[in-house]
Amino acid sequence: MSKIPPRYESAIFDDVPEEIKQAYSNLNERGIYIHGSVGTGKTHIAYALLKKTRADGRSAMFWNTTEMMRDIRRDLDRDSYDKTHTDSFLMDFKGVLFLDDIGSEKMTDWVAETFYLIINRRYNYILPTVFTSNFSIAELADRIGDRTVSRIVEMCKVIPLNGDDRRLSKIINKNK
């Protein structure tokens, strides 16, 4: 899923915090793991990075992880001629992969194993990956497992994003 939704069409690289811009400049060597509270702009930043990646002529794919897991699950239940093969496409994708909101899924053994398989493949083949999450590294490890998160830490620059919930701030300021 890589079409940019209307809400994020205005996302631009100039608005990305400097530390994340610097990490992006090393994306071939290291991915990026951006984490912070709800509403701090992680998804907006990820879409700005996606647009920059494509403008630079690189192949890129963006997935909200809950939607990704839903699509993989749907494929498991389909007849072979109806499958979209989301899982094998993800496993074979060599471009920059954006995984938005990792850890927000209802956690099951199957979800944790699926994340491990995708992340391990990207780790082994040194493929650039950008993650966003509401969870710190330690919190994510509690959700999807230490071995998966250990790979994320080695393959990514971990960047906390601090701030207030922008969505709530807009509503509060509107009502004043």
Domain membership of residue 107 as a residue range: 21-174
- pLDDT at residue 52, rounded to an integer: 97
Residue 47 lies in a domain: yes
Answer positive or negative: Cα dihedral of 160, 48, 97, 112.
Answer: positive
- pLDDT at residue 79, rounded to an integer: 52
Rounded distance, CA 123 to CA 121, Å?
A: 5
Residue 12 lies in a domain: no
Query: The CATH number of the domain where 57 resides is what?
Result: 3.40.50.300
Percent of the chain with pLDDT over 70: 84
Q: Three-state DSSP class for 33?
A: strand
pLDDT, tens digit, for every residue of 98-135?
Answer: 999 999 999 999 999 999 999 999 999 999 999 999 99
Q: Is the pLDDT of residue 91 over 90?
A: no
Residue 129 lies in a domain: yes
Q: Three-state DSSP class for 130?
A: strand
Number of separate domains in the chain: 1
